[in-house]
Chain A
Amino acid sequence: MISPLFDVRDVTLRFGGVVSLNKVNLHQSRGEILAIIGPNGAGKTSLFNSLTGVYAPQEGAIVFTNSRGKAISIIGKKPFRVSAAGVARTFQASRMFNAMTTFENVKIGAESHRGLGVVGAMFKGPGTRRDEHRSDIRTKELLEFVGLTQQANAIASTLNYGARRRLEIARGLATAPDVLLLDEPAAGTNPTEKLELVELIRKVRDEMGVSILLIEHDMKLVMSLAERLYVLNFGSVIAEGTPAEIRSNPSVIEAYLGSVDTGVAQEARDA
């Protein structure tokens, strides 16, 4: 039986008079690699922000079902609570903690869901030491998983784009999520890095059992990676289906041809 993960029903998000998302419906099953595509300004990142609690849509419902089968309503929850529920994300413009090392960046993710523990932190009790040790091990594992062991002690701002993306993925995974939301993971990476990234994302799903929801402009990458796609345009879902279905969908082609990104439609057909 396919268990649900995200269930987005009739979500509408407005900023004053501007409608950013218009009655969006989206469904993701556990273990699925799902992609959202669409021209610039279609509302992809707004949808992401709604799914992670950054924005609170005025209408509709977003229900997230965690690994224990508990349904959690996302709307109105703060981002840190959404994260605690099991949703991790990366950002379009990568947001690392630049002055920290790669290791510390990931470690912060690994330990963020424990309680406050101020008293323990003040006096370094045995419990705190054990926690630290566990976070260190987890961080090491994750850095190895994404292939950043060599750069563990490098300052985050000195990493190149590909490494930054992998770092963000590791940091997200450190929070032990059910689903990882990737906002344009391939932006700014070169072709080799892109291939490695596709491999890594597949590995995240296959080996860690973390579902993937991604936004991406690179059609080749999306078509080869995603199992199902949603196409957004002007805040509405205009198409949904497998890569093959999307490629031949006339309304998708029209949406792309009608926008500035004419090249993308061409790419979509070529891919």
Chain B
Amino acid sequence: MKDLWQNPRVKRIGAIMLIAVLVTVMTGPEGNGAEPTAGFTGSFAAQASFFGIFTVQRWIVFSLLTLIVVGAIALAKFVHRSWNDRAHRGGSDASAMSTRTPLRRRLDMKSSRYVFYVIVLVLAIFLPHVITDNSWQTQIVQQILVYILLAIGLNVVTGFAGLLDLGFVAFYAIGAYTTAWVTGALPTPPPFHMQFNTFFAIPFAIALAMLCGVLIGLPTLRLRGDYLAIVTLGFGEIIYLFANNLFGITGGATGTREIPFLSIHLGSLKYLWGLNPVPYYYLTLGFVVLFLIIFSSLEHSRVGRAWVAIREDEIAAESLGINPLKYKVMAFAIGAASAGFAGVITASQTLFVTPPTFTLQFSINILVLVIFGGMGSIIGVVLGGLFIQIFVVYLEHSPPSGYNSQDLYMYLGALLVVMMIFRPAGLFPSRRRRREIDQIEAGTAPDAVLTDVGPHNRVQEEMS
């Protein structure tokens, strides 16, 4: 019995159950003077029906939910391991040297991955025919695709280049306000005093977001670690305050005037995006795919390797001729591009832009997606984003009884805690990131390995 409690897994599950009970108590009804213990006793009563399907006691529901999460993580672990094992035998970065890998298996590996991607893409294309509810479709664009765009952008900055950016929302805001500016929805006149076709907001917003990325990056990216996080936090706040207080330029706290829907008028080609969310869905999906392709080829390029080098050891990278500042600024600008585009979509679909959207909370939400999915792993960030945002949309769409919107962060917080216990590198971590975290955990990060006793076995394991 005592041995059982010493088992780390049992300990972890125990800890999670404790979190579940805590969440139960916190979501219970408020106590009052007449019945001071109502909050406590009520929290264990069977009246709550989380997700509208359970009518059992709340603590059982939460415990079940945590067990489901633990199970999902274990499944992710299993899938990821078998995926990676195969990837490692015929992985792309090993391909240059691995003469022992039969070519066919390598091709199999590659093609099976592509088949998987194509299947996912086809499913995504048919999704609007499956989910035909308009409000759901809008939510899918605004809450899922836009968030995924932002998360893969932040992943370039935080995951690839290792820069903790707490003001990422600023670039999103810049994208949204640029759309308003270009289409003449701001008090300031649009560029060159001509109201641009809304579609031109896209290149404008992306360019301006990237420019701001460079401008904010040049002075601040000389800083490291915590200092950078604080400065980017400040940058996010500055942009928010600009939006909120510069009444004559941004429209202040009341927000912008109405922003027209996206439209194309090029010669005979005319198309107007309207209230129907489906065209927006396809446009955004197209850009998500485009950014995914660009970012993943960046990851496996010279640029991606330079980012990893800087992340792991800046001094060594610099001694090899890599200019850290240049690559960091580049990561900032590239990440900003996708956020700028996300801003265009939000601005033109929701018709108004108001400052309260662009708070620190938003930056942190995006960071949560990146951490949850696995920093530096594009597929992980996409899946993590999907997982969390579907959860969020579901809670918003059909809230359980007694749910109020702030509760969301409590659930997300609990989810993150569980993640950090079981999979500190995220749901689907990139191989490198996982190695880095393993090394830190095992204390074998630089210089700790003096003998070749332990690690040697691992070499053979990796090679075989």
Interface residues of A, Cβ cutoff 8 Å to B: 52, 54, 78-80, 83-84, 88-89, 91, 93-101, 103-104, 107-109, 111-114, 116-118, 120-124, 128, 131-132, 135-136, 139-140, 149, 151-155, 157-161, 171-172, 174-175, 188
Contacts and interface: CB of A to CB of B under 8 A. Distances in A.
Given A93-B446, A123-B297, A154 B463 contact: yes
Interface in B298-337: 298, 301-306, 308-309, 312-313, 315-324, 326, 330, 334
B329 to A, nearest CB: 11
Nearest to A90: B319
B305 A103 contact: no
B436 interface: yes
Nearest to A52: B319
A111 B433 CA distance: 22
B318 A101 contact: no
A259 to B, nearest CB: 25
A111 B316 contact: no
Q: How large is the interface on B (under 10, 10 to 19, 20 to 34, 35 or more residues)?
A: 35 or more
Interface string B191-204: 00000000000000
Interface in B75-108: 93-94, 96-98
B321 A112 contact: yes
B449 interface: yes
B303 A116 contact: yes
Contact of A97 (B94, B303, B309, B450): B309
- Residues of B contacting A: mostly: helix
Given A97-B313, A99-B436, A157-B444, A80 B305 contact: no
Contacts of B320: 80, 83, 88, 108-109, 112, 171-172, 174-175
Chain B CB within 10 Å — which of A107, A131, A155 has the most? A155
8 cross-chain pairs, A with B, having the tightest CB-CB distances, nearest first: A121-B301, A160-B452, A83-B321, A95-B316, A99-B435, A158-B455, A112-B321, A152-B97
A112 B321 CA distance: 6
Given A97-B312, A98-B312, A114 B462 contact: no
A1 B456 CA distance: 49
B98 A153 contact: yes
Given A111-B302, A152-B97, A80 B312 contact: no
Nearest to B438: A99
B315 A95 contact: yes
A153 B100 CA distance: 12
Contact of A93 (B444, B447, B452): B447
